[in-house]
Structure 1
Amino acid sequence: MTQRSYPESPGFKVAGASQEAAEAIAPQAPRVRDRVLQCIRMLPGMTADEIAAALGLSILTVRPRVSELHRQGEIQPTGGRHRNSSGMTAGTWEVAPPLPNQHGTTT
C-alpha cells in the first residue's frame, strides 16, 4: 500500500494528539472533502465554519478539509470575508477554475 501525504491525506505537524487525530480522520477525509467541495460548488462564498454548519459537521473536521482542497488547487479564496461565531472574520471560498493540462487546455 502506498503512503499518501498531505494534502491527499490529513497531515500533522508533531507526533502526539495531532498525529492521532490525522490518523483517525484519514479513512473519512476523502468523503468529507468531496462533501465540502460539493457544498462550495452549490453555495460559493461561504466560510469553512458556514460550510461545517451547512453539512452538519464539526468545524474541526471541515477546516482541515478546506485547507486540503485549497492546497490541491480545487478551491480558492473569493476575497470576501464573513463574521464567524467568535466575532472574527474568516475568508470565503469558491471552486477554482480548472488547471490547464500539459497541452495547455483545461479538462
Structure 2
Amino acid sequence: MAYESGALDATLAAAAGEDRALIAELRSAFIDSAQKQVELLKRARCDGNWHVAAMRLKGLAASFHASNLYDLAEEALVAAPGEPTVVRKIESALAEFGPSIDT
C-alpha cells in the first residue's frame, strides 16, 4: 500500500529533514523493530508474551504513523496467541514497507 509507505516516509522526513542517510537509518530501524516483534508473536505460546509483542508492535506503528500496522496489532491483541492468520496479515503489511536496508 503506497499510502502506508508514504505516511512512514512523511514521518521520517519530519524527523530527519533532508538528511537522506538518517531517513534510511530510521526506516531500517522501524522495519527491523517491527520484524522482531513479528518474530516474538510467532514464538509466543502464552497470552502474556503474545500481548507484550502485540503492544510493542502497536506502539511502534503509532510512533511512525503506520495506521494499517497499528490496526493489525490491535487485531492481534484480541486474537489467540500464535493465531497464524493475524501473523500473516502483519507480515504482509510489513512487507509493503519494503525490506530493511541492513538486510
TM-score if structure 1 supplies the norm length? 0.36
Structure with a larger share of its residues in strand? 1
Structure with a larger share of its residues in helix? 2
TM-score if structure 2 supplies the norm length? 0.37
